[in-house]
Structure formats: structure tokens, C-alpha cells
Amino acid sequence: MAYKQSYGKQPPEVLEKEHAVVEGIDLPGHWNRMFGTRVITDYDLSTLDQITDLPGGESLGWCYQCAKCIGVCPVDIVGDYGPRKIHRDVQRGISLLDDPNLWLCTTCMNCLRVCPKAVDMIQIMPAAREAAINEGKAIPPELQKVFEATDRYGNPLGENPRKRADWIKDAGVPVPIVAQVKRPVDVLWYVGSYPSYHPRGIDAARALARIFHALRVDFAILGVEEREDGDSIRLAGEKGLAEKLTEENIKIFGKYKFNRLVVFGPQSTTPSRTSTRSTGARTRCFTTRSSSRSIWIG
Ligand code: SF4
Ligand code: SF4
């Protein structure tokens, strides 16, 4: 007698006979197990098309569920989040734009590093988030707060923009403000929002100021003129706000003459390169261990 056995949440349908005789040999039980034909067109593919039609979202359609990304994703232990699960849900007809998991990916790139199909969450997630925002979908309240604070105050922490350079008072060394220097400098240091306001970031900013002095670097900062670089805002899907920040920064950078722009973290490198392209300056990234970010300068 043939019987069917469902297999996990997602069949394939498993077909077994109690006995099957093949070329005179009796194959009992699971030795004659077969998988039923899977009809992929039974799925609602509109939710997959919704993402793969977005510029940057194409590679979501390439996932073949190998699961290599699971072990490297730092968010995989949160709720039922997981890069492979996201792909599977979308393939099964669940809209990513309505899924709370849309906002959990940190765009750390770990999954892309190991993915044999080059499924690129660093492109997919910002594209899907931008589409969700444009369609007026619900976004996490804390993220909404960050967008509003960045738009209003020029930093995601919602701090007073006039206090952006307060950290230099206790730096232990003079930290020149480029508008007050009134001459070209070799290095314009883009400090960034967290090193300007957050206690741990301020420690790192003061440490770098002392290093610049020890190395006799001719540097200055933008001070209260500086605005958030907007890279995290772009990755979170608020592309319009990110572009507005870039335009503002282009204007500010364009006011001064400098040979090199030094930024404090890799996340600032791309927007700063864009903002300083017209000035001809080179962008260098300098991060310290105390800021818990990767380190490179060059
Ligand atoms: S590693 Fe790539 S192909 Fe494999 S499950 Fe993850 S996203 Fe899909
Ligand atoms: S990019 Fe997103 S999905 Fe990929 S490993 Fe990082 S947090 Fe996980």
C-alpha cells in the first residue's frame, strides 16, 4: 500500500510503499522512498517579484536555500529572523515590505561573504526599506525617531547641533575649527555624530586629536557646521534624507581648502568621498580600537 507523509513545514511530499519489488529485489519501507513532484508555480511569486523588481533587489531571487548564511548572521538568533528564512518567506508569498524582520538586518555583509549565489542583502535591504517607506508602511518607532532627529538636528542622537564641538574643550590639546583657521589645511577631519556626542565616541575623538598633535598633523575639524554623513540613514531606507545630507555636506566641504579628508569610521567613507569629489581631496579612514570599529588608514 502506498502512503504519503508530509515532511516538515515545506513538503516535498514523501512517497513510500510498504514493499516495492525492483528487478526481483524486495525494497521495504524507507528504502523505496521517493519525493513527489514539487509544483513551484503553486507559490504566489508576486512578493518575490515585488523585491526582485527593485533596483538592488534582484539577487533575492538567486537564493537556493543552502543555509550557509545562517551561522554567520549576527541577527539570526533574534526572534525568527534569518537571511535564509527571509528569502524563503518571500518565495512563499509573504511580503517583505510588511514583515517586521525587514528592519532587523544590520547590513553587516557577513552573509554576502559566504553566499555561493551572491545574494546581496546590503543592496536588497535598503532597496526594500526604501520601497516600504515610500509606500507608507509601518516602520519601527525608534527608527522614525532617528530619521526625525537627523533631519532636524543633523545627528541621529537628537543632540543640539550647537554642541557638536563641545568635546574639544577637554581634549587636552587644541583642536582647530577650520572656519576659524582661515587658511587651507592638510587634513580636514570629519569627526562624525557618535564621536562628537556619545561618551565612548568622545573618548575616541579626543584620543585621535592627541595622536594628530603627536604626529604634528596640520588638521582642523568642521565643528558646528558638520552634519551627519547619512550612510546609516541610507542603509535604513531613507534615501531622500541621505541625499539631502550629502548635498548639505558637499556645500560645507566646498567652502574649505584641504588636501585630505580623514573620517572616523568606514561607514563615513562612501558619503564623504561623494561629498568631497568636487574638491579633489582624498578620503582616508582612521578608526581606533576604543571606538570598536575596524582599523585602517591609508
Ligand atoms: S547563503 Fe545565499 S544561497 Fe545560501 S541560503 Fe543564504 S542567501 Fe540563500
Ligand atoms: S547582512 Fe543582514 S542578513 Fe546578512 S549577515 Fe548581516 S545582519 Fe544577517
Quick one: which ligand is closest to 84's CA? 1
Q: What is the CATH number of domain 42-134?
A: 1.10.1060.10
Q: Of all protein residues, whose CA lies closest to atom 3 belonging to ligand 2?
A: 83
Q: What is the pLDDT of residue 188?
A: 94
- Cell numbers describing residue 63: 537564493
Quick one: which ligand is closest to 64's CA? 1
Could you tell me where in the chain the CATH 1.10.1060.10 domains are found? 42-134
Task: Measure the CA angle with vertex 162, ends 249 and 194; round to 5°.
Answer: 65
Q: What is the pTM of this model?
A: 0.76
For residue 263, count other CB atoms closer than 10 A to its CB.
Answer: 25
Q: What is the pLDDT of residue 22?
A: 87
C-alpha of residue 108 to centroid of ligand 2, in Å: 5
Atom nearest to 111 CA in ligand 1: 1
Average pLDDT for runs of 10 along the chain of length 298: 41 82 87 78 82 96 93 88 89 91 94 96 96 95 96 96 96 96 94 94 95 96 94 94 92 92 71 56 50 35
Q: What is the pLDDT of residue 61?
A: 92
Q: What is the pLDDT of residue 288?
A: 44
C-alpha of residue 64 to centroid of ligand 1, in Å: 6
C-alpha of residue 82 to centroid of ligand 2, in Å: 8
* Ligand 2 lined by 74 (C-beta under 6 Å): yes
C-alpha of residue 200 to centroid of ligand 1, in Å: 36
Using CA of residue 37, residue 42, residue 47, residue 51, what is the dihedral sign? positive
Instruction: Name 2's bridge partners.
Output: 17
C-alpha of residue 233 to centroid of ligand 1, in Å: 26
Task: Measure the CA angle with vertex 79, ends 77 and 80; round to 5°.
Answer: 90
In 193-277, alpha helices (H)? 193-197, 199-214, 231-235, 239-254, 266-276
**DSSP helix/strand/coil, 63:** coil
Pocket test for ligand 1, best of 10, 63, 108 (most atoms within 8 A of CB): 63
- CA–CA separation, 59 vs 123, rounded Å? 9
Q: What is the pLDDT of residue 39?
A: 67
Please name which of 242, 156, 171, 175 lies closest in space to residue 204, comparing C-alpha atoms: 171
